[in-house]
Amino acid sequence: MAMLARRVLCGKTLATNCFKTLRATTSNAHIVRQQIRCFSRGTTLLADRKYSEKHEWVVIDGKIATVGISEFAQDQLGDIVYAQPPEAETDVAQDEEVGALESVKAASELYSPMTGVVTEANKEVIANPALINTAPYEEGKPWWLWKMEVSKPEELDGLMDEKAYKKYLRDSV
């Protein structure tokens, strides 16, 4: 029985080559084996993440936005020792001060990147704020601060993608 091998580009990032190899019989297209290989050659482009000028990031999934602080912001703060994101059921407006972070070096306000209603504060980060310093963008477990139901999705258009945010950092810092 002949086997087919097919490579499918599965990564969304520009800096990662990620291929799935699927082996299937030609007669019934039954998948016999699946192998995933990923090779990273640099910083991963976070295509679905948008950034505010106040250094918060947001990822949208339907009407729910997940919000955290950028790697630049957490690096500037240093070791974060206190996190106070907005509480659930709080109405927030874009660019409104909604919470605070404190570190051994400084204190910083948190601003909402979009308008909506907070649905959840990250209790794990509130209990252990130092988690924010460990991996602000780690796939599967980014240390987000709060989630919210967005009431003005068009505000997303005014936020920066990663490329624009990196340019903003170069030009303003």
| 98-113 pLDDT tens trace | 999 999 989 999 999 9
Q: Which two tokens stand for residue 27?
A: 């007669």
Average pLDDT over residues 37-41: 33
Q: Are residues 93 and 126 in the same domain?
A: yes
The pLDDT of residue 32: 38
Q: Taking a C-beta distance cutoff of 8 angstroms, is the pair 45, 162 a contact?
A: yes
The pLDDT of residue 163: 95
Phi first, then psi, for residue 92 (nearest 5°) are -130, 150
Task: Give the model's confidence band at 48: pLDDT under 50 very low, under 70 low, under 90 confident, else very high.
Answer: confident
The pLDDT of residue 140: 52
CA dist list (Å): 124 to 132, 137, 143: 10, 16, 9
**Residue-range definition of the domain harbouring residue 32:** 3-40
> What is the number of structural domains in the chain?
2
Q: Are residues 28 and 64 in the same domain?
A: no
Q: Which residue has the higher pLDDT, 92 or 2?
A: 92
Q: Which amino acid is at 109?
A: E
Q: What pLDDT digit, counting tens, does each position of 117-141 carry?
A: 999 999 999 999 999 888 656 555 6
Structural domain contains residue 104: yes
Measuring CA to CA, which residue among 106, 82, 112 is closest to residue 94?
A: 112
Chain-centroid distance, C-alpha 17: 20
Distance of alpha carbon 18 from alpha carbon 47, whole angstroms: 16
Distance of alpha carbon 108 from alpha carbon 125, whole angstroms: 16
The pLDDT of residue 143: 84
Q: Are residues 120 and 72 in the same domain?
A: yes
Average pLDDT over residues 53-61: 95
Q: The domain that contains 68 carries what CATH number? A: 2.40.50.100
Structural domain contains residue 129: yes
